[in-house]
Amino acid sequence: MESLGMDWTAVQTVVWTLIKILALVVPLMLGVAYLTYAERKVIGWMQVRIGPNRVGFQGLLQPIADAVKLLMKEIIIPAGANKGLFILGPILAIAPALAAWAVIPFTDTLVLANIDAGLLYVMAITSMGVYGVIIAGWASNSKYAFLGAMRSAAQIVSYEIAMGFALVGVLMAAQSLNLVDIVRAQQGGFWHWYFIPLFPLFLVYLIAGVAETNRAPFDVAEGESEIVAGFHVEYSGMAFAVFFLAEYANMILVAALTTLMFLGGWLSPLPFLPDGMLWWLLKTGFVLFLFLWFRATFPRYRYDQIMRLGWKVFIPITIVWIVVVGAMMQTPYGHLFH
């Protein structure tokens, strides 16, 4: 009888967790859909165009129409492709992009899994995203796809190091790997947020985040002018859409992490205003707007320039600043870096 009760609570936990996962993933997917809409609108306005305005009021149903269109299309598997891996590619791209959200806190208490090594978990899971790209590029059995995959792999591995070092600065300042604790350590107005004492790391993280998600101006992995569409050139229909979803989910993830680690997460900028999830949404939205702004503004980097920026500029900056933070913590001004 007792064991039956135990099982019942276990089942309850599992069901409850599944409901929570759904409650996280559904808004996230909607966010992704409307991020594509926002991207087209914002870039449209920046280039003095209107952007999508046909489907629904002001084009608001455009993402839904796109999704339906992609769902209806045939998925073509090239004759020379490695079939199993060809299908595995998109799955491995989207799985880490969603799995990383498990530890992202929205407020003090609103978090799926408040684990102790949250920051490390995010790093580990996002580093797996590159497999989707590599496997897709290789399994397509196409030179363009393969070149795109190689470029992307080299780029992601390079920028991950700079990104990791930027995070080391944050965990030194917060003295914790737990994302909730990191935000709590920034309490007390916007001048306590980490983007001020860790400004170089903030910049490096933001730019490395753009590079990690293969976004313009670092999108050589899918440079149309050189390698058509890069690693997903052979993909059609929903298989292509899954890559698309993964890219945008990763974008929102990087924006959310920037918010949590450098911009105070759900904390309000002025101490007398109430904290809340609204601030989290506003800050994440602002960082996402930066992503779109970059894309509308900067021309694509040349490949060797990307590698130089990653290895010879960002990694030295982060290492120097980690030493600065460590040294300053031993001085009377150490509280500025906590």
Backbone angles phi and psi of 186, in degrees to 5: -100, 15
- Alpha helices per DSSP H over 140-236: 143-174, 179-184, 199-212, 224-227
Q: What's the rounded Cα separation, in Å, for the pair 173 and 202?
A: 13
User: Distances from the Cα of 333 to the Cαs of 89, 181, 267, 287, 337, in angstroms?
Assistant: 49, 22, 24, 30, 8
CB of 161 to other proteins, least distance (A): 8
- The stretch among 51-59, 122-130, 239-247, 287-295 that binds other proteins (CB under 8 A) is 122-130
Task: Let me know: does 231 contact 222? Beta carbons within 8 Å.
Answer: yes
- State which of residues 25, 30, 308, 323 lies at the interface with other proteins (CB under 8 A): 308
| 305 belongs to the binding site for other proteins (CB under 8 A) | yes
| 115 belongs to the binding site for other proteins (CB under 8 A) | yes
CB of 64 to other proteins, least distance (A): 35
- State which of residues 38, 91, 95, 154 lies at the interface with other proteins (CB under 8 A): 154
Backbone angles phi and psi of 103, in degrees to 5: -105, 5
| 10 belongs to the binding site for other proteins (CB under 8 A) | yes
| 211 belongs to the binding site for other proteins (CB under 8 A) | no
- State which of residues 24, 100, 130, 239 lies at the interface with other proteins (CB under 8 A): 130
Encoding tokens for residue 11?
Answer: 């089942």
- The stretch among 57-65, 124-132, 193-201, 214-222 that binds other proteins (CB under 8 A) is 124-132
Q: What is the DSSP string of 29-50?
A: HHHHHHHHHHHHHHHHHHTT--
- State which of residues 123, 229, 307, 329 lies at the interface with other proteins (CB under 8 A): 123
- State which of residues 120, 228, 238, 281 lies at the interface with other proteins (CB under 8 A): 120
Count residues near other proteins (CB under 8 A).
28
How many CB atoms neighbour CB 124 within 10 A? 13
Q: What's the rounded Cα separation, in Å, for the pair 252 and 256?
A: 6
- State which of residues 94, 111, 168, 177 lies at the interface with other proteins (CB under 8 A): 177
Nearer to other proteins, 130 or 185 (CB): 130
Coil vs helix vs strand at 324: helix
| 131 belongs to the binding site for other proteins (CB under 8 A) | yes
Encoding tokens for residue 267?
Answer: 């904390």
Closest among 91, 75, 94, 92 to 234, alpha carbons compared: 75
- State which of residues 60, 128, 229, 307 lies at the interface with other proteins (CB under 8 A): 128
| 135 belongs to the binding site for other proteins (CB under 8 A) | yes
- The stretch among 151-159, 205-213, 231-239, 272-280 that binds other proteins (CB under 8 A) is 151-159
Encoding tokens for residue 19?
Answer: 């409901």
Coil vs helix vs strand at 185: coil
- Number of residues assigned to the chain: 338
Contact positions toward other proteins, by CB under 8 A? 10, 85, 115-117, 120-121, 123-125, 127-128, 130-131, 134-135, 138, 146, 149-150, 153-154, 156-157, 160, 177, 305, 308
